[in-house]
Structure 1
């Protein structure tokens, strides 16, 4: 089994850490969608990271779909999402906010790092920034209400730490004047774990 993609992608990193916690053995292949484009096309013509090739040759992509597949296979002691419907819905709601923040952060990065200054569309930048801030505010509040800031290792805490670390590394200036204490607390706790250290990209 091989996981293709760079660990500076929050989506690749959340899959790598999740697989580690599920107890799944895999090889990480650090292909970039930019600098390894041609090589990546031979694995997945769509060139989407993360891409996971199963031992039977089946190809999976999209971090949430990959994680969902292994969540269904995981024994009870390795599951990262709750079984109870109400609690599951609450966790999925938080994950939606965290992943929305990730999506908007990636869009912000692409707009500023890949597009020349004269080609950047300021109304679009302002819109994406507003969406990012709204997602982070909702995400932070939901974590406070969840009251599990120092609790178990689960998919909410994994995704929270991975996405927040990405945002802080790539675009810290966007959120510099705001405090997101619950997100930061979860991130500090998770980033100290050996699974996070093993798949660190810094």
Structure 2
């Protein structure tokens, strides 16, 4: 299997960490959807990260769908049997936080300053704070023992947001998430899959 995409994408990183946690062998090709557009398009014409090329040569996109496939071929699951609804809620909040962080990054880096729409940015920031506010209240559900998908997704989201928008979401505002993420980042699956 091949995982295509840069680890500065939280979606690529959560798939890579999950594959390692499930002990599923894969090769990682660190291609950028921006800098390596042409090379990426030869693997996947829609140039979407993450892209997973299965052992059968099927090209899959979207981290959640990729992880659904991976769990289908694995003997283990990263979703708990007893509290799947809570886990899915946390994963959804983490992915929403990733989406909103991406929107802020794109607004800041791809749109000229004079074309940035401040009401839109404020709305996205409000949504990002709402997601992290809900996650902060739920940190008692995150343990990394054993390391599950909710743990991976929340820790990856937090690190991504801190890497790109630490001026918007501060550790002081969400101390339990900051503490949890720092703990997760010491685990072998995270250490061997650095964001930067």
Q: Taking structure 2 as the reference length, what is the TM-score of the superposition? A: 0.95
**Does 2:188 match 1:194?**
yes
- SS where residue 7 of structure 2 aligns? coil
Alignment of 1:107-126 (within 5 A): 107-126=103-122
Superposed CA deviations along residues 14-57 of structure 1, whole A, max 9, x for unmatched, are 00010011111111000100000011111111110000001111
Cα displacement (A) at 1:177: 7.6
Distance 2:123 2:144 in 1: 33
- Uncovered stretches (5+) of structure 1, i.e. residues with no partner: none
Aligned to 2:23: 23
What is the number of equivalent residue pairs in this alignment?
196
Matched, 1:79 2:73: no
CA distance in 2 between counterparts of 1:70 and 1:39 reads 25
CA separation in 2, counterparts of 1:132 and 1:57? 37
Partner of 1:48: 48
Q: CA deviation at 1:83?
A: 2.1
Partners of 1:101 and 1:63 in 2: CA distance: 15
Once the two structures are TM-superposed, the CA of residue 150 in structure 1 deviates from its matched residue by 5.7
Tell me, yes or no, if structure 1 residue 94 matches structure 2 residue 90.
Answer: yes
Superposition TM-score, scaled by structure 1 size = 0.92
CA contact (8 A) 2:171 2:178 kept: no
Counterpart in the other structure of 1:163:
157
Gaps (5+ residues) in structure 2? none
